[in-house]
Every structure is written in C-alpha cells, then in structure tokens.
Amino acid sequence: MLAIFHKAFAHPPEELNSPASHKHGSNLPKTPEETLQEFLSVHPTNTFSMTFAQSAVLAYVKPDHVTMLRHQRLFCGFDDIYCLFLGSLNNLCSQIKQYGLSKGSNEAMFVIEAYRTLRDRGPYPADQVIKDMEGSFAFVVYDSKAGKVFTALGSDGGVKLYWGIAADGSVVISDDLEVIKAGCAKSFAPFPKGCMFHSEGGLMNFEHPMNKMRAMPRVDSEGVMCGANFKLDVYSRVNSIPRVGSQSNWTEWDTSY
C-alpha cells in the first residue's frame, strides 16, 4: 500500500527529514507524483489509486493469490473516510459485534467505523481501542472531509511499515521499502511497532501511552545519517493524557505535555 499526504495535513516528525537527502551528488527525494508512478510501475496490472487534489494520494495492490498468501490487503471508503489495511485481526468477529457492524464486515470497514465512533461520540481514547485489536496489522486512515490522517502498526512485528519525506515535504507511508527508499532518499525510517500517528497528535505508543516517544538518529551502511528511529522512552513519563472537551478522540489530541 502507499499513502502520501501533504505536509500541511500530516505534520510529520522533523527527525524524519535527513539533511543528507538534499546534499549535492546524493540521490534526491522524489515528488509525490513521481513516487506514485514508481509504485504503479511495480504493479502495473492490479493497482488501484485515488488522488485528493493536492492533499493526499492513496494506492494499493488489489488482492490476488500471491499477495493473499502473505498479507491481506484491503481498501475501503465510507462517509468521506478512507482506509488502507494490511494484515488481519484475530478478534475481528468480537470487534464488529461490539461496534454493531454486519457479519460480513472486513478489517478496513471495522477501522473506519471505530474511527467514526471515536471521532463523533466515543468515550474511549484511541490508544485503548487500538490496543484491543489483536493480530498483525497496519492501517492508514484518511478523513478527507476533516483533513485528518491516522496511522497505526501492530506490535507483534508481523507486518512491516515505513514512512518518509518526499521532495516537497509530504509524508509518504508504505509497506514497500524499495518505493520508500526511492521516493524519500535518506529521509525515511521504519514506522515503530505498537505505535500510532495522528496528523495533529503526533506519534504515540498505544501500549504505553503515558510514555513519550524518543527520536534516535539512524545511520545507514555507508555511515550517513538517515531519518530517525522512534523508540519508547522508558525513563520519561507523564502523569496523564488530558482530555479535550468532554471526550478524548482521534481528531483532537492534547499534546501540551
């Protein structure tokens, strides 16, 4: 899967942008359009993509026999909310029952419904909802009406996800490492396991939301500084995560701490 979001909507961590990406003589990062074409060229016959003006691009490889053996790939859109989902949930049946969805709902449908519930009226914090998801998974949610981005990666390491910075500062998210390397040059890193990223709330570990995330410089095989790894800082704790208004949800995270 591939998701590209304009920097005005995603607000990526500054540590992802490596100065080495812009040095003369090095491979330079590509534009979002070039990265999309690179992704489409790798899978020329079974790729679907959507472009949202200058705000976002979503693309995924349609399921076939080969990809289904590795990881399930899903795409779903409802009520101007779109979800790319990779992997599977072991407790999908109990989750769709909890949210009142039909038995035929898949993981992408469930993620959208969970997002809508928390955004509009849910009393539960987003980290608790994702913590309840059992399985190997990664997903990207784009709320095109609200202009919000939400991404999460399971903690078991069964699914890989990467993110980086394009030539214009846009955020690029994909499970295809080669596409990320080509599109973001040195400005990329593995997306941290057990973490979620919100375009306004930033990066957070959903298993330990009381702990801050720390950026660790990353060096490639040539000794060049690349986009940082992000790790849980076990020595830094905050007392609480304040609620915004009457509830904590996926669209308004208080990051004053």
- Which tens digits make up the pLDDT trace of 232-254? 776 554 444 444 443 445 545 44
Q: State residue 188's pLDDT score.
A: 92
Tens-digit pLDDT profile for residues 118-144: 888 766 688 888 999 999 999 999 999
Nearest partner of 138 among 164, 117, 158, judged by Cα:
158
**Domains along the sequence of the chain with CATH:** 2-237 (3.60.20.10)
Contact yes or no for 199/13 (Cβ under 8 A): no
Greatest alpha-carbon pair distance for the chain in Å reads 56
Residue 36: its H or E element: helix 32-42
Arithmetic mean of pLDDT over the chain: 83
Query: Tokens standing for 207?
Result: 């298993």
Residue scoring higher pLDDT (41 or 234)? 41
Residue 240's pLDDT is 41
Whether 187 and 165 have beta carbons less than 8 Å apart is answered as yes
pLDDT tier for residue 255 given thresholds of 50, 70 and 90: very low
Beta-sheet strands, E only, within 90-124 = none
- Six token digits for residue 3: 């998701």
Of 66-80, 93-107, 220-234, 236-250, the least confident: 236-250
**Cα 205 to Cα 203: distance, rounded to the nearest angstrom:** 7
Percent of the chain with pLDDT over 70: 81
4: Cβ–Cβ under 8 A, 6 or more apart, which residues?
A: 32, 35, 36, 56, 57, 166, 170, 171, 172, 173
Give residue-wise pLDDT tens across range 85-95. 999 999 999 99
